[in-house]
């Protein structure tokens, strides 16, 4: 009831916005973007439908913001200095472990990400968002290997990149349990650096 300062308003706005994003991501991931309705999001978030349009111009914008938030979270995760220590082998192992761990903890985001990627061919916007992401990951991988003197860096990067995303796909959609730890170690120790 007390009059609110602009800052407080700002803060409330931020909170609501983020809450809507979190709810949206969950629903998008769970049921798919198309199958999730604005009403459903509003109800789940405990606000009126109209409120959503104060924060986001359209359902599509909302999706973009959800993706942006997800990517930010993920990037933070990988901005860990710890990841950059050790030799190529160790860095790679940590990278894969971190990736797979994130698949378990952020399964929602990753499965949204996967389902969106498979619809990229029909949408320029999605292409703009995801293609650079995947490509820069390849570059990062290639660099990591190259700068550690690993031969055939590009080929290996392609293989590893494929393997990581394929394993992710299998984990998310086919197998409930996946021996991440063993597969990681197997790939690193037996296939990449035998």
Partner DNA sequence: TATGAATGAGTCTTCATTCAT
Partner DNA sequence: AATGAATGAAGACTCATTCAT
Contacts to DNA by CB under 7 A: 1-4, 6, 8-9, 12-13, 16, 35-40, 47-51, 53-55, 57-60
Q: Applying CB under 8 A, does 187 fall inside the site for a copy of itself?
A: yes
User: Cβ 76 to a copy of itself, closest distance in Å?
Assistant: 23
Rg of the chain taking only CA atoms, in angstroms: 20
User: Cβ 45 to a copy of itself, closest distance in Å?
Assistant: 17
- Residue (of 129, 161, 124, 163) closest to 142 by Cα position: 161
Question: How many chain residues touch a copy of itself (CB under 8 A)?
Answer: 46
Q: Out of DNA, a copy of itself, none, which partner does residue 152 contact, by CB within 5 to 8 A per kind?
A: a copy of itself
- Residue (of 113, 168, 162) closest to 138 by Cα position: 162
- Residue (of 61, 54, 59, 95) closest to 78 by Cα position: 95
CA-to-CA dists, residue 15 to 12, 19, 102, 121, angstroms: 5, 6, 24, 34
Specify the residue, 65 or 171, whose C-beta has the smaller distance to a copy of itself.
171
What part of residues 20-49 is at the interface with a copy of itself (CB under 8 A)? Answer: 29-32, 34-35
Exposed, middle or buried by CB within 10 Å (0-12, 13-18, 19+), for 79? exposed
Q: Out of a copy of itself, DNA, none, which partner does residue 119 contact, by CB within 5 to 8 A per kind?
A: a copy of itself
CA-to-CA dists, residue 111 to 27, 39, 70, 169, 172, angstroms: 11, 22, 11, 8, 7
Specify the residue, 61 or 136, whose C-beta has the smaller distance to DNA.
61
What part of residues 121-150 is at the interface with a copy of itself (CB under 8 A)? Answer: 121-122, 130-131, 134-135
Query: Which residues would be at the binding site for a copy of itself (CB under 8 A)?
Result: 29-32, 34-35, 111, 114-115, 117-122, 130-131, 134-135, 152, 155-156, 158-159, 161-170, 172-174, 179, 182-183, 186-187, 190-192, 194
């Amino acid at each position: 009831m007390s009059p609110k300062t602009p800052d407080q308003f700002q803060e409330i706005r931020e909170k609501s916005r983020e809450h809507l994003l979190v709810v949206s991501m969950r629903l998008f991931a769970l049921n798919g973007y198309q199958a999730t309705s604005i009403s459903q999001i509003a109800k789940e978030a405990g606000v009126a439908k109209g409120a959503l349009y104060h924060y986001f111009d359209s359902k599509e914008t909302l999706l973009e913001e959800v993706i942006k938030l997800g990517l930010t979270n993920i990037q933070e995760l990988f901005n860990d200095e710890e990841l950059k220590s050790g030799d190529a082998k160790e860095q790679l192992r940590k990278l894969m472990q971190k990736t797979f761990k994130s698949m378990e903890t952020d399964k929602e985001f990753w499965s949204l990400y996967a389902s969106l990627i498979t619809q990229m061919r029909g949408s320029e916007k999605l292409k703009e968002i995801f293609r650079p992401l995947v490509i820069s990951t390849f570059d990062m991988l290639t660099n990591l290997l190259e700068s550690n003197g690993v031969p055939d860096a590009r080929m290996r990067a392609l293989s590893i990149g494929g393997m990581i995303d394929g394993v992710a796909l299998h984990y998310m959609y086919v197998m409930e349990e996946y021996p991440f730890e063993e597969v990681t170690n197997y790939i690193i120790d037996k296939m990449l650096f035998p």
